Amino acid sequence: MTFLSSTKTSRLVTTSFSFFLPFAISLILFSPVSASLSNGRQSEAVRTVHQFPSHLENIAEIAEGVFAVVNGILNLETFKPIGNFTVWHVEMMAHGATVNDIARLPDAGLPNGLTVTVTSLVTTAGPIVLVANSFAGCVWKVNTETAAITKSIDDQSMKAGDMSPIATNSDNALVKVSHGSEVAAVSVDSQLMGLIAAHFGRTEDNYRTLYVAANQERVVAVQVDSLSR
């Protein structure tokens, strides 16, 4: 499940419950505060804005009311994709959404991470999204305007280790990636050894703290200033 920034009045939520991930998945608009209509009735707090043919893996806002999402099907027994994973362009409208495919990801294993680069939001080149490919251990860079795809990061520390086919070979450490695409592993609390960090994020008012979601129901705060080589 993926939520957008807490500062937004509405949230987009993606959900999946299938082991083989073959079923249609909805893109849902969730409004925490129901809007009052002119007739005095309350609007629905949750409504489907688009139905995709397969599993949605992640979502990122690339412009006001415009999002990039990734969808596809992964067989979790063979760890092989069924068909191709695709990056989609979703523009929210008053009564639904306009959806167009941007590009198909080459040799995608499990693209379970998606974010937009901050610098691309203020340039004329168009928003750039980075897609983490867990099984391949690399990061793809996708230009949402031109559909150009390049491999942004491909480092040995991001390859699968012995713990899991989707865990990095970073020896139980976070992986720091600088603006120059330099990759380095950094140590974390010894109590976290053996845990898999699935996702991370940071608050809008404090960019120096990362919150890492790990297995065993833990969330870990890591100070960015401590991420030194």
What is the reported pTM? 0.60
pLDDT tens figures, 48-83: 778 887 778 778 888 888 889 888 877 767 767 677
| 131 and 31 part of one domain | yes
Q: What is the number of domains present in the chain?
A: 2
pLDDT tens figures, 105-160: 877 777 777 888 766 665 656 788 888 887 777 888 899 989 999 888 777 766 66
Dig out the tokens for 38 from the structure.
């002119």
What pLDDT band is residue 102 in, cutting at 50, 70 and 90?
very high
Could you identify the residue written with the tokens 């969808």? 71
> For 198-226, what is the mean pLDDT?
57
| 133 and 175 part of one domain | no
Residue 1's nearest CA partner among 76, 11, 169 is 11
- The boundaries of the domain holding residue 32 are 1-154
| 114 and 181 part of one domain | no
What is the 8-class DSSP label of residue 191? Answer: G
**Bridge partners for 138 per DSSP:** 133, 154
Residue 172's nearest CA partner among 161, 183, 156 is 161
Q: How many angstroms separate the CA atoms of 178 and 153, rounded?
A: 11
